[in-house]
A and B are shown apart, each in its own frame.
Chain A
Amino acid sequence: MNETHPGGCECTPIPSTPMDTPLRNVLDRISGFATPWRRKSCTAPRGRRIFHRDVEQEDHQFQYGTAHCLSSYYSVFVARLAIMVMLAILIGLLTILTWHFTRIYTTKSLNSLAYGLRNELLQRPISRMWNIINSTSDITTAQLKLSEYVFRRYNKPATQAEQVELYEAMRDVTWALFASRKALNAITINYRNGFVQAFHRDHRNNNTFYIYSDLANYSISAGGSNEINPLSSHQGWKDQSIHGNISAIWYQEPLDPVTGEKIGKAKPIPPDDLINIAGLSEVPDGVASWHVAVSKYTDSPLLSAALPVWDPSNESIVAVVGVTTALYSVGQLMKELVEVHSGHIYLTSKEGYLLATSTNAPLLTNTTKGPKLMMAIDSEEKVIKMGARWLQEAYGNNFSQRHEIHAENARLGQEQYFIDSFFLKLKRLPLVGVIIIPRKNIMGKVDERAFKTLVLLISASLCILFIGCICIFILTNGVSKEMKLRAELISHLDARRRAEASSNYKSQFLANMSHELRTPMAAVIGLLDILICDDCLTNEQFSTVTQIRKCSTALLRLLNNILDLSKVESGKLVLEETEFDLGRELEGLVDMFSVQCINHNVETVLDLSDNMPKLVRGDSARVVQIFANLISNSLKFTTSGHVIIRGWCENSNSSFDIGKFLLNKKKSQPAHKTKLKEQGSHTKKACKQDNRMILRFEVDDTGCGIDPSKWESVFESFEQADPSTTRTHGGTGLGLCIVRTLVNKMGGEIKVAKKDGPGTLMQLYLLLTAPVDGTEQHCRVDFSKQNLVVLLALHGRMGRLIMSQWLHKIGVFTVEASEWNELTQILRELFRIRSSVYNNGFDAHFSLREPLSTKVLNIQDTRNPTFIILVDIGLLDLSTDIWKEQLNFLDSYLGKARFAWMLSHDTPNAIKMELRRKGHILMVNMPLYKEKMIHILEAVIKERNLEVQKKSSNTLRTTKEGDLHEYLEIDATQFDVASSDDSDISEIGSSNSVSGSHTGEKRRERNRKPGSSGYQATNNCLVELTRVYSKENYSTERDPCHVTLNSHEVQNEERKCCTQASLSSEAQSESAEQHLVISSPTAQGNLYSSKAVNEQKSLEGVRILLAEDNPVLQRVATIMLEKLGATVFAVGDGLQAVDALNCVLSAEDCIRESIFEGRNKRTQTEIKDFPSYDLILMDCQMPKMDGYEATEIIRKSEAGTGLHIPIVALTAHAMSSDEAKCLEVGMDAYLTKPIDYKLMVSTILSLTKRTA
């Protein structure tokens, strides 16, 4: 199939039924799938084609569709939703992942960073602490060592002076140490005897003091007790010191902080008032000890270390050395460190006493007992307090010992903090460091950023989601719209295809019905024929039956028309390709219609240009059908005026200027054919070179015309320009449609053209090929040299005009007359001058018109012209007897001019008889066209030549002219029958008889024509030359396109045949009158009497070979044919037929040889005697060898011998394809079973006569 791709196909031509079923399934499925969309579109139905047949179905579908619509709507909605949700999930995941990764990694790295920072922050005060403690311990150790040295030096001071010296040395050493360490708060030495030496530095006012106790109160002996009881000495010391302290007086001496020189007076101070003096109580075990102390003079806690000094013998403690350092600097450092981060650091002792903070909050509380260390939870600084509290709550009181704590999200008050604590393990003085940093400071920006990022991400993803949803909606909407459109398109295509298919089915159905429809019709006609043959009918019955017969024929023809149309539509019309004489066909057609024209007072004129090819290849029947339809159509609507058929050739391929020129000329003045002969011949040559040619035609009438708006639509089926025409003119409106399809099929076009004046102008062209051999027939006499003068006395103006123009062109002088008086005047004018013969009959004096008189003068100039006077019988007054007078008048010119009479079909026989009697032999029937004119001219020329000859030979001058005269006559019978037959065809607005359909009727009509005319189908329009001269004289001069009758006998015999054929065919009563017109009285006489006999024996002497396998049919056909007088040889299959024929052929060949040897002229007749076959009736379907094959073999064997035995196919199929097949293999005709024997007879006759 071509159109699957719709487009194919499309579409494309007509799809074949079996192949499109799968496609249809698919389409159905698609359209089913697409129904919801289609339904949607139903809400706004535009110009949708609804076929009547489908309306109910559509309704049903609609109801079904609305239910369907809802569910599908939901399904679409769900689909959209699903896509959107998926998009949302995707975007959400992306967002979360992005956020997560950015967040987690930053947080992690930040956290580790923050941890490091915090650690560092804490580490530094702690290391400072370490430093302080270390330096304190260093100094203490140094002091200890120095003290030990001093004691060794002044071992056992015995005297007071030595004692003092010892103290002095000790003081100097201690000062040196003290001065070197600016950070020290104090160094004390407490001797065993209770003497105290100390240096103290007040950092607040930067004063340095030396403090010592009153020497006088101490004795050296005190050391003795210690010696004795080292263990109890401690107790003793303590008591002593307490005692001593109470009683001792201490002095404070301000010193220069740099040099250590005394700068002030010593003043007594209460003991222990200013500083703590490390005593024996602080070193109970004799090892170094640490503790934190408070002093009322400093507001920061003090760190003090104490070491005992052993005597050189290392048996007893001599003194206790103490060093005190303020922790103030640690706090300072912390403050500096934390300031940037706005955090807090504090150090506590193991018990929770605050040692140092990064704030300025006091570390000591003033109680009644003096300043005391503060607990961290009691700190005045809120943050520290809360942090300590939080820690306590979280980890209990003794958290610090176990582990370090790092809390990231401790909530203190309104803010979040990082809290980290470190445990610092000093010997005897464990410390806990806590750092509190507000989270905001470290993570604040990060958190903020993270939050912003999250917000941004979420909003961005929401935006994307929203946009995505919109996009999806738009996309799906677009897709759904497209789907809707597609579905609609598909449904439309489907509907169109269905419509096409249904119309195609219709056509096919009609085409297939051909047989079934025709069979009953054939039966009806056959039965009527039988009835007509019946002798016992009364005249009335006979006429009634004849009428029925006619009506049936008409009905059959109408049927054929419809079938033709449907056949064309279903593409089954096959055009023949045979040679035919187009001009002759058209002439025959015009002859046929002229009868009708005359009735209507309408003139039919055929005007073919000289460059028309004689023979063309194509389907003659169809071409004739085209013109018959057009002409009958024109005639139907033309009540007066003329119908002109013009035709000219235009070379199709060659772009010859001449061709164009001709065409242009034609168009500018179509009625005026003034072509030069050379041009014509040029064009002919061009046509010959390549054989395809464009033949242009015009059918021009003066009828009522067609409204320009209907110019296209008149070619549609069942379309008529005016609906009322059916009433007035009848017809179905099929004619022009058939014409158009046929013309298109022949590669041409037809259209209605604009025309000046009333009427219609149909223009068409056909693409036909000329036969290759192209026997150019123009061996015509050159009339221009013959000195001919033609007087056209014709009634019809148009015909006369065209004829005179043409005659003028070929070089013949013409004079025109349109009525009797004019004729007489011209005659007188012409002959008065040339000869003095003057006739009295009509004495009217008319003065000739100017142009005419000059013409006449011109004619007079030519030497010895031959006058031909062509008189329309209509010029005579036939209503009265005046015509006889008129004839008598013309008689006087008989000798000077040749008369040719234009008869009409209804010219009374009496007139013809009279004319003949008077020696007017040249008679032609009414429509005058070129071919007839040429024949008249030729006849005249021949006659003249003969006369000249006779005159010279001087023989037989006495012979009666009438007998010797050329007997020129048109046999009116044939076309009368045809035209009477056709008049009712044109009434029903359909084709003429020749252009019937493919079966019997057409065959019959076509074959009847040659049968009735005796020769070629259109021979009837020709002038038959019946010569009484010896055939020896003229046999060599035969015109190639005419068949000359050799003798009267032959003619008579011929005529008999015609009569039989026409009788057997149809319309006897109709044709009865016209038979009377037959000129030969003998034939006329024979007409009725010989009817029965002739019918019975019409095939007398014909030898027929019948190849038929079916015995029954064989028998029937044999009897049928034998009854008709034929000799029948029956064979059972194709093989036998071929064999039978081969015998004959070989026999004939022998004889042929003998002919050539003997050169005997009579051998022709001998061949006839030999039992060869004149015709073969060939069944198509036979065993062994079928008819087609047999025919092919026969034709092959004939090739080269020049023989052609007619073969008629017998087949049960009535389609044109079968006919085409038959004709293709070389058969000549075609008969359908069951055999209609009238048809058979006419077919056989036509074929046997053709070869006769």
Chain B
Amino acid sequence: MDGVAQLQKQLVDYTASLFQEGFLDEQFNQLQQLQDESNPDFVVEVVSLFFEDSERLLNELAKALEQKTIDFRKVDAHVHQFKGSSSSIGAQRVQKVCIAFRNYCEEQNIEGCLKCLQQVKHEYSLVKSKLETLFKIEKQLIAAGGSIPT
């Protein structure tokens, strides 16, 4: 029982730290609220959807920015999508970089866009690892027989 309690505490702390560091925002809370008996893996599902989508978008973005003549509208659309999906899972920091990215897009600033792409990738990988860690802890907790604290 101690192990469960410890895991629970760890999970809560970790989640809190994620919020504190600004990786996540209240949208993630909403997601977690939506998770219940009928959709036990809702958060994981959505987040993995987000991961898939993000990888695709990042690839497309990288491809689009490698072109000689960059179609900024396309880039903008991709970033917009990325912003939408990141905001809907509450990946706040990714979202913020996306906003900056879009500004550069509007200015047609190639260097800014490339810089932002790197930032977005970085933030994305960060949030991905964080979330994966979070899910791992949750899994461990469930495996240990505990319930996820809400």
Taking Cβ atoms with an 8 Å cutoff, the residues of A that contact B are 523, 526-527, 530, 1109-1113, 1115-1116, 1119-1120, 1123, 1181, 1183, 1212, 1233-1235, 1237
Known: A523-B26, A1234-B27. A1116 touches B84 (CB 8 A): no
Q: Is B25 an interface residue when CB atoms closer than 8 A count as contact?
A: yes
**Using a CB-CB cutoff of 8 Å, which residues 73-91 of chain B contact chain A?**
77, 80-81, 83-85, 87-90
Contact sample, A vs B, 21 pairs, CB 8 Å cutoff: A526-B26, A526-B30, A527-B26, A1111-B49, A1111-B50, A1111-B53, A1112-B49, A1112-B85, A1112-B88, A1112-B89, A1113-B88, A1116-B30, A1116-B31, A1116-B34, A1116-B88, A1116-B89, A1120-B34, A1123-B38, A1183-B77, A1234-B30, A1237-B30
A1233 touches which one: B30, B33, B88, B89 (CB < 8 A)? B88
Q: Which of B39-47, B61-69, B131-139 contacts A (4 or more CB under 8 A)?
A: B39-47
Contact across chains for A1123 and B85 when beta carbons are under 8 A apart: no
B81 touches which one: A526, A1110, A1120, A1123 (CB < 8 A)? A1110
Contact across chains for A1113 and B84 when beta carbons are under 8 A apart: yes
**Closest 8 pairs (CB-CB, A-B):** A1112-B85, A1113-B88, A1110-B84, A1112-B50, A1119-B34, A1110-B85, A523-B26, A1234-B27
Return chain B residues, CB-CB under 8 Å to A1183: 77
- Complex: chain A residue closest to B80, CB-CB: A1181
Return chain A residues, CB-CB under 8 Å to B89: 1112, 1116
| Alpha-carbon gap, A1212 to B81, bound state (A) | 11
A1112 touches which one: B25, B30, B38, B53 (CB < 8 A)? B53
B85 touches which one: A527, A1111, A1181 (CB < 8 A)? A1111
B88 touches which one: A530, A1109, A1234 (CB < 8 A)? A1234
Contact across chains for A1212 and B26 when beta carbons are under 8 A apart: no
| Alpha-carbon gap, A1109 to B33, bound state (A) | 23
Contact across chains for A1119 and B42 when beta carbons are under 8 A apart: yes
Interface residues in B, total, Cβ within 8 A: 28
Contact across chains for B49 and A1212 when beta carbons are under 8 A apart: no
Contact across chains for B34 and A1110 when beta carbons are under 8 A apart: no
Known: A1115-B45, A1116-B46. A1233 touches B39 (CB 8 A): no
- Complex: chain B residue closest to A1112, CB-CB: B85
Contact across chains for B46 and A530 when beta carbons are under 8 A apart: no
Q: Is B111 an interface residue when CB atoms closer than 8 A count as contact?
A: no
Q: Interface centre among B27, B36, B87, B88, by most A CB within 10 Å?
A: B88
Return chain A residues, CB-CB under 8 Å to B30: 526, 1116, 1120, 1234, 1237
| Alpha-carbon gap, A523 to B49, bound state (A) | 24
Q: Is B29 an interface residue when CB atoms closer than 8 A count as contact?
A: yes
Contact across chains for B42 and A530 when beta carbons are under 8 A apart: no
Q: Interface centre among A527, A1116, A1119, by most B CB within 10 Å?
A: A1116
| Alpha-carbon gap, A1234 to B87, bound state (A) | 7
Return chain A residues, CB-CB under 8 Å to B87: 1212, 1233-1234
Return chain A residues, CB-CB under 8 Å to B50: 1111-1112
A1112-B88, A1120-B34 given; name 11 further pairs at CB < 8 Å: A523-B26, A527-B29, A1110-B53, A1110-B81, A1112-B46, A1112-B89, A1113-B85, A1119-B39, A1233-B84, A1233-B88, A1235-B88
| Alpha-carbon gap, A1123 to B38, bound state (A) | 9
Return chain B residues, CB-CB under 8 Å to A1234: 27, 30, 87-88, 90
Contact across chains for A1109 and B81 when beta carbons are under 8 A apart: yes
| Alpha-carbon gap, A1112 to B31, bound state (A) | 11
- Complex: chain A residue closest to B30, CB-CB: A1237
> Smallest distance from the beta carbon of A448 to chain B beta carbons, Å?
90
Return chain B residues, CB-CB under 8 Å to A1235: 88
> Smallest distance from the beta carbon of A1182 to chain B beta carbons, Å?
10
Return chain A residues, CB-CB under 8 Å to B31: 1116
**Using a CB-CB cutoff of 8 Å, which residues 1-52 of chain B contact chain A?**
25-27, 29-31, 33-34, 36, 38-39, 42, 45-46, 49-50, 52
> Smallest distance from the beta carbon of A316 to chain B beta carbons, Å?
145
| Alpha-carbon gap, A1113 to B80, bound state (A) | 12
- Complex: chain A residue closest to B57, CB-CB: A1110
> Smallest distance from the beta carbon of A1104 to chain B beta carbons, Å?
16
> Smallest distance from the beta carbon of A1178 to chain B beta carbons, Å?
14
| Alpha-carbon gap, A527 to B90, bound state (A) | 14
Known: A1233-B84, A1233-B87, A1233-B88. A530 touches B29 (CB 8 A): yes
B83 touches which one: A526, A527, A1123, A1212 (CB < 8 A)? A1212
Contact across chains for A1123 and B77 when beta carbons are under 8 A apart: no
Return chain B residues, CB-CB under 8 Å to A1115: 45-46, 49
| Alpha-carbon gap, A1112 to B36, bound state (A) | 18
| Alpha-carbon gap, A1234 to B83, bound state (A) | 11
| Alpha-carbon gap, A526 to B34, bound state (A) | 14
- Complex: chain A residue closest to B53, CB-CB: A1111
| Alpha-carbon gap, A526 to B90, bound state (A) | 14
- Complex: chain B residue closest to A1181, CB-CB: B80
- Complex: chain A residue closest to B46, CB-CB: A1115
| Alpha-carbon gap, A423 to B82, bound state (A) | 128
| Alpha-carbon gap, A1212 to B99, bound state (A) | 11
| Alpha-carbon gap, A1119 to B26, bound state (A) | 17
> Smallest distance from the beta carbon of B15 to chain A beta carbons, Å?
14
Return chain A residues, CB-CB under 8 Å to B26: 523, 526-527
Return chain B residues, CB-CB under 8 Å to A1116: 30-31, 34, 46, 88-89
Interface 1/0 per residue, B99-132 and A, CB below 8 Å? 0000000000000000000000000000000000
- Complex: chain A residue closest to B45, CB-CB: A1115
- Complex: chain A residue closest to B76, CB-CB: A1181
| Alpha-carbon gap, A1234 to B90, bound state (A) | 9
Return chain B residues, CB-CB under 8 Å to A1123: 34, 36, 38
